Structure 1
Amino acid sequence: MAVNATGGIGPAALFTLPDARTANRQPGQDMSANVRVKRSAATLARQAEQSFAKGGAAAASQFASRRQYEKYERDTEINFARILDDDAIPKVEQLLRILNDGKLSQEPSLLSYARALFPDDSDLVVVLREILRRRKLKEAVGKALAALLAQVEAQADPQHLNAGINCALKARLFGQAHLDLAPAMLRGSYRRFLQSDRQSIEEYQEWISCYGHQYRSTILAFIEAALMADAYAATPSSGSVYGDFCGKLGQLRLIRSGDDLFMKQLISNEVIVGLNKSEPDWLIFLFSLLQSPEDIDEHLHYLLGEEFLLYRHHERSAILQPIFRTCRLLPHELFFCAETAQRMFRQFEYLAGLAYKREVIESRMNR
């Protein structure tokens, strides 16, 4: 189940793919639900202290960086809020120093140099606009920067450029609130969502594989906030605000309602809670159903395991019934194919009915 039929990320791979934050984890730091390593209280306490120290260091670094930016903004009147490059200040000074020294007078050389400093077009455009608006420049330097800005804007994809500019502030704010979320990564996720023609649930799976299932509601909130900021910006990334943006907003709300409904219905059921399945287990099951509902037998086997066959029939019925009821409540728009979803419901109904019939027989035999 690691790769789906279309070559995309399969549900089982969602919680094992490395990302920017997990790639450097040591084996002992694996957070998989299947890890069964017993750690002593002393080890756990030591890890907690290390985690706290690491988080405190990250926060202190961020606050120090923020104070540096605030001071530089006061001194130069350049606004860095929409620039997500971590080293924007020294890079701006480096660019201005090169221009003031009369170097890189040729336009192609200047463009290459500027792109090397700010690889993201949105960052580069905002930097150039801010310098031209706020700084007192030599006439030659001002003309060179204005020509550079015009060239970058002409070469950039308008939707990619404006989406990056319009969501940058939201990305920075969410990154400050959640230190594990890099603003530049959030911006990239928003751009891909905006330009993607994939099923919305595939985007959701990608966010979970990138940021972790524990951040999925935060990522949804960010994407929605970025979408609203983009729609109300002076230059929206899409020309069809009411069409494109409303459609994307509808996708986000459909994902949120489906996830919330599925999880809340299941974790409120005592029998389901007794299975001791983790949230990632249920998410894998949910995504498997949505992608290939016709394989319901396989998905149930993957979720419940061989031990399910050892349960008495009334126990099987008690497990299947709430799962079936919850799946019936899912918005049909979430499924990749409505027709196969209907076949899944019929198969689920058959399995639940069969379990109930055997439960009745079992009950009569035990009288």
Structure 2
Amino acid sequence: MALESLPMARFRSAVGIGDLSNVLVKMQDDAEVKVEKGSFSVAMTMADDMSALLSSFLQNNRAAKAKPSSPESIAEECEASIKEKTPNCVVKINDFAKGGVMTAKQLLNYLHQLFADPTEIALLLHAFILMKKKKKDDDELPDISSDILESALENLMKGPDRKKIKAGINSANTARKFSLQLKQNEQSLRKAYEGFITQNIDPLEIYQMSIEKFGIENRYAVLDYYSQALHCDINSYDPSCSLLEFGTLLEANFRMNILRSADQMFMSKMNEGEYIPSTNERDFRLLDFFFHIILQPDETKNLTIELINNCMRYYSGSDKTNFVQQIYSAIKPLPFAIFADDLADAEKMKMSIENTLAMIIDGFARFTHIGRTYG
């Protein structure tokens, strides 16, 4: 289903494959704006738009790509990789090659002994092949021919890790860019993206796992990393996934960004008023409540009482009634569709949560003689 405000035909006729990432990013940004304005049912259709756009562009342009990923197309990543590994890496491989006649299979087996990450091996082989071409008069691997290197790379890319390797190569530049911001090494970030495209799990679970792995303070930056890595992968010379797989990943990525918008709305409301400065511990408790109330709306009463017991110490001059009113105000603007795929069911779940919170407020108000206010 295409949005009237974003007709697909206009994008198909105006944009080439090289601009696909920018188009997809713009569509996601537009979707997040619509979510913040409350037009969630409209924004959700953009996931289908992105999938359709992806399919249209790649079907029209992939036919022109007759060969697998060329060394030149990933030169920057290869050069960075070889700089990190030399000179010890080259010395070890040269020493191994001097032991006698070596086959591509033997070289590949030896590299697997040196490096646990197959993406590192692929980047190094690409880099060695590039060195052979660039430095014919100053060959750093004189005992290993280009044919052996190319055969080893070909065998590696035919193996069981080929999908992860392609994803790792295509996300390498993005991982490098985000490594400082997220305080993670590039290999860890590449593996995170590889896991994102290979693990068939719910977007909410991916969101939670990202917080556990990278920290609550980095959760928005991690989603930016996944989005940019995915778009780079889609637009790469040799994408890691099929059209159908990318469509599914785009939808998962889109849903995570919807969750981020809901997360931001919830936390913004919970941060209104006279609170002590935000801490990771307090934010984690609030987010844990946010996730659980989405997953277990029937447990709203117990979850709210637990949150009250855990979080009242973070608030200055606030009683339980005001605190639950704050929760109610934070839940009220959240979009229905984060609770269920079926909007009718989602609306019922959200209304049930709101009604339960209203009952809790009423109960506290009777004891404190404070007037009831909702929202």
Q: TM-score range by the shorter chain?
A: 0.5 to 0.7
- Contact 2:179–2:186 (CA<8 Å) still a contact in 1? yes
**Residue 96 of structure 1: CA displacement?**
3.4
Secondary structure of 2:180's aligned partner: helix
Cα separation, partners in 2 of 1:294 and 1:156, compared to 1, 3 Å: same
Of 261, 264, 269, which aligns to 2:265?
Answer: 261
- Contact 2:204–2:256 (CA<8 Å) still a contact in 1? no
Secondary structure of 2:157's aligned partner: helix
Q: Does 1:280 align with 2:277?
A: no
Q: Does 1:176 align with 2:180?
A: yes
Secondary structure of 2:299's aligned partner: helix
Of 111, 136, 160, which aligns to 2:164?
Answer: 160
Partner of 2:149: 145
Stretch deviating more after TM superposition (329-338 or 108-117):
329-338
Superposed, which structure 2 residues align to 1:183-202 within 5 Å? 183-202=186-205
Secondary structure of 1:278's aligned partner: helix
**Residue 273 of structure 1: CA displacement?**
6.3
**Residue 143 of structure 1: CA displacement?**
2.2
Partner of 2:93: 95
- Contact 1:115–1:124 (CA<8 Å) still a contact in 2? yes
Partner of 1:38: none
Unaligned runs of 5+ in 1: 1-76, 309-313
1:226-283 deviation line (CA, Å, top 9, x unaligned)? 112112111111221762343233123212212111111210244x769998111111
Secondary structure of 1:83's aligned partner: helix
Partner of 1:129: 126
Of 81, 93, 97, which aligns to 1:83?
Answer: 81
Distance in structure 1 (CA, Å) of the matches to 2:215 and 2:284: 10
Cα separation, partners in 2 of 1:78 and 1:144, compared to 1, 3 Å: farther
**Residue 361 of structure 1: CA displacement?**
8.1
Superposed, which structure 2 residues align to 1:42-81 within 5 Å? 80=78
- Contact 1:294–1:344 (CA<8 Å) still a contact in 2? no
Superposed, which structure 2 residues align to 1:11-22 within 5 Å? none
Superposed, which structure 2 residues align to 1:226-265 within 5 Å? 226-240=229-243, 243-265=247-269
Q: Does 1:105 align with 2:102?
A: yes
Cα separation, partners in 2 of 1:133 and 1:330, compared to 1, 3 Å: same
Partner of 2:223: 220
Cα separation, partners in 2 of 1:174 and 1:265, compared to 1, 3 Å: same
1:71-100 deviation line (CA, Å, top 9, x unaligned)? xxxxxx98645639954542234223422x
Stretch deviating more after TM superposition (80-89 or 321-330):
80-89
Question: Structure 1-normalised TM-score?
Answer: 0.66
Distance in structure 2 (CA, Å) of the matches to 1:109 and 1:358: 73
Of 302, 324, 328, which aligns to 2:332?
Answer: 328
Q: Does 1:355 align with 2:355?
A: no
Cα separation, partners in 2 of 1:340 and 1:166, compared to 1, 3 Å: same
Cα separation, partners in 2 of 1:133 and 1:248, compared to 1, 3 Å: same
Cα separation, partners in 2 of 1:264 and 1:341, compared to 1, 3 Å: same
Q: Which amino acid aligns with 1:184?
A: Q
Distance in structure 1 (CA, Å) of the matches to 2:366 and 2:144: 90
Question: Structure 2-normalised TM-score?
Answer: 0.64
Partner of 1:66: none
Residue correspondences, number? 281
Distance in structure 1 (CA, Å) of the matches to 2:90 and 2:239: 26
**Residue 364 of structure 1: CA displacement?**
9.4
Cα separation, partners in 2 of 1:184 and 1:110, compared to 1, 3 Å: same
Structure 1 runs of 4+ aligned residues shifted over 6 Å read: 272-277
Distance in structure 2 (CA, Å) of the matches to 1:307 and 1:142: 63
Distance in structure 1 (CA, Å) of the matches to 2:324 and 2:79: 51
- Contact 2:325–2:361 (CA<8 Å) still a contact in 1? no
**Residue 362 of structure 1: CA displacement?**
5.7
Cα separation, partners in 2 of 1:143 and 1:306, compared to 1, 3 Å: closer
Cα separation, partners in 2 of 1:358 and 1:254, compared to 1, 3 Å: closer
